[in-house]
Amino acid sequence: MTGNVHAATGPGKLRRPYRIREFLDTQGLKMADIARQLGVTHQAVASTVKGAKNNRRVLAVLRDMGCPVEALGLPDDME
């Protein structure tokens, strides 16, 4: 895969939203659960998962939960 065609330029272009959603499904979680945990909007989580935004809190929680790092397309300083 060459990148996320829905993402903005930058680190989010390498994000793999389907892999992230697959991970959340295996954990029995929804993006709304992550949003509630962090106190952010569902849209903030969805935009980050899609790669259009880089909400570092969302990315950090996903990483810490065990989401595959290659699916997250993390900024260099978060890897």
- Walking along the chain (79 residues) 10 residues at a time, the average pLDDT comes out as 55 87 97 97 94 92 96 86
Q: Which domain holds residue 62?
A: 11-69
Q: Quickly tell me which residue has 């569902």 as its tokens.
A: 42
- Beta-strand ranges (E) seen in the chain are none
- pTM of the shown model: 0.84
Residue 3 lies in a domain: no
**Cβ of 43: how many Cβ atoms within 10 Å?**
11
Residue 33 lies in a domain: yes
Whole-Å CA distances, 60 to 2, 32, 34, 67, 73: 24, 16, 11, 10, 12
Residue 76 lies in a domain: no
**What CATH code is carried by the domain that includes residue 43?**
1.10.260
Residue 37 lies in a domain: yes
Residue 38 has a pLDDT of 97
* Count of structural domains, the chain: 1
